[in-house]
């Protein structure tokens, strides 16, 4: 009597049906998010792209007269736009290296603490949850001329304090210091979580081989945190390129537009000059710049990951 071998196909068919059901369930669960994503991101983005082709103003109804690519040509020829782009790059260069390096150092120091780690986590992360308006109010007092702590402390040790907010050379540095204190906690938490994922056995093996102090940092911690560092740098660069709140609230782009970033230039074009179409064109040009930077960093990260 021959043995029956017909039990496997129903199992395969049932598995395919479960997979299709799972995909349908995933689509249905994602549907509310996709609807809101289309309404509040893709929709405004598409409408802004249309507005960028017209001489649209927020004080007149309708799209206004057609300009074609005239707004884009004006943006690319604008010295004020490229000046604001440079201010954004300058801010990124001032903030990204210290926010990465100092966050890593503080995370390593916290990881070595045996008692009271929760206190250090709280102290370093707490400023990150403070609203931008409150942070600006604090640093307005810190950098106040003559009476601010940043001035009086330097004067007390015999150093002539600069005009923190009134000097074009120091204004961006002041904003960078504010940002460093305010946002350091986010990168710190990312590094701290990555350090906790390193098995203790690796440290023990390195100690047996004679690795101590800086050797452990150089040969163990830094290589194992390579992916985390790429992520932190990418997030920090994109966040710095999108700077707006602290500069606008603290300096309004001054003195003499010496700190006005690209987003504030777009804001001023749309809501001060009432040129919504031109502002949309500038924002799309800036979007392309951010996407290009993000794409280049993504490719660099993948190449580095393959080599590692």
Taking the domains of the chain in order of start, what are their residue ranges? 78-307
Residue 14 has pLDDT above 60, yes or no: no
CATH 1.10.10.10 fits 78-307, yes or no: no
Among the residue ranges 77-91, 105-119, 177-191, 254-268, the one predicted with the least confidence is 105-119
State the Cα–Cα distance between residues 161 and 120, nearest whole angstrom. Answer: 31
Q: How far is CA 239 from CA 27, 42, 71, 147, 242, in A?
A: 30, 21, 26, 32, 5
pLDDT for residue 305 is more than 70: no
pLDDT in tens, 156-210: 998 888 999 999 889 999 999 999 999 999 999 999 999 888 887 777 676 776 6
CB 179 within 8 A of CB 98: no
d(CA 306, CA 308): 5
Helix boundaries (H) for 41-78: 43-51, 70-77
How far apart (Å, rounded) are the C-alpha atoms in residues 236 and 199? 27
Cα 137 to chain centroid distance, Å, stands at 22
Q: Report the half-sphere exposure of 263 (CA within 13 A, side-chain side).
A: 16
- What confidence tier does 116 reach under pLDDT thresholds 50, 70, 90? confident
Tokens 């490229």 identify what position? 82
Q: Quick one: pLDDT band at residue 19, thresholds 50, 70, 90?
A: low
Do residues 217 and 108 lie in contact, with contact meaning Cβ atoms separated by under 8 Å? yes
**Residue 200 pLDDT:** 78
For residues 95 and 180, the answer to whether their CB atoms sit within 8 Å is yes
- What is the pLDDT averaged over residues 220-241? 88
Tokens of 106: 């503080």
Structure tokens at 62: 């309708």
The pLDDT assigned to 1 comes to 44
* Maximum average pLDDT range among 4-8, 114-118, 154-158, 183-187: 183-187
Query: Of the given ranges (116-125, 134-143, 217-226), which has the lowest mean pLDDT?
Result: 217-226
Cα(139)–Cα(143) distance, rounded to whole angstroms? 6
Q: What is the pTM of this model?
A: 0.85
Secondary structure of residue 86 in the 3-state scheme = helix
Q: Of the given ranges (108-117, 196-205, 255-264), which has the lowest mean pLDDT?
A: 196-205
């Amino acid at each position: 009597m021959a043995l029956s071998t017909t039990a496997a196909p129903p199992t395969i068919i049932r598995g395919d049906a479960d997979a299709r059901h799972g995909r349908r369930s995933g689509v249905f669960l994602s549907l509310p998010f996709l609807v809101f994503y289309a309404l509040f991101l893709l929709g405004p983005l598409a409408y802004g792209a249309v507005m960028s082709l017209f001489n649209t103003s927020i004080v007149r109804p309708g799209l206004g007269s057609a300009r074609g690519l005239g707004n884009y040509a004006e943006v690319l020829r604008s010295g004020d736009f490229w000046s604001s782009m440079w201010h954004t790059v300058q801010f990124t260069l001032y903030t990204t290296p210290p926010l990465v390096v100092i966050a890593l150092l503080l995370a390593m120091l916290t990881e070595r603490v045996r008692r009271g780690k929760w206190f250090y986590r709280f102290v370093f992360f707490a400023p990150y949850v403070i609203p931008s308006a409150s942070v600006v109010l604090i640093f307005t007092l810190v950098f106040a001329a003559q009476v601010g702590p940043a001035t009086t402390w330097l004067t007390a040790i015999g150093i002539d304090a600069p005009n923190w907010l009134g000097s074009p050379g120091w204004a961006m540095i002041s904003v960078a210091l504010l940002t460093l204190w305010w946002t350091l906690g986010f990168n710190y938490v990312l590094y701290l979580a990555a350090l906790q994922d390193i098995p203790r056995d690796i440290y023990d093996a390195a100690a047996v081989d004679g690795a101590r102090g800086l050797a452990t940092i150089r040969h163990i911690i830094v290589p194992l945190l390579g992916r985390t560092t790429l992520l932190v740098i990418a997030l920090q660069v994109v966040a710095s390129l999108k700077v707006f709140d602290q500069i606008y609230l603290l300096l309004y782009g001054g003195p003499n537009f010496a700190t006005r970033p690209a987003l504030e230039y777009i804001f001023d074009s749309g809501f001060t000059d009432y040129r919504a179409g031109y502002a949309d064109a500038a924002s799309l040009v800036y979007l392309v710049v951010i996407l290009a930077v993000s794409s280049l960093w993504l490719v660099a990260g993948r190449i580095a990951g393959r080599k590692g």
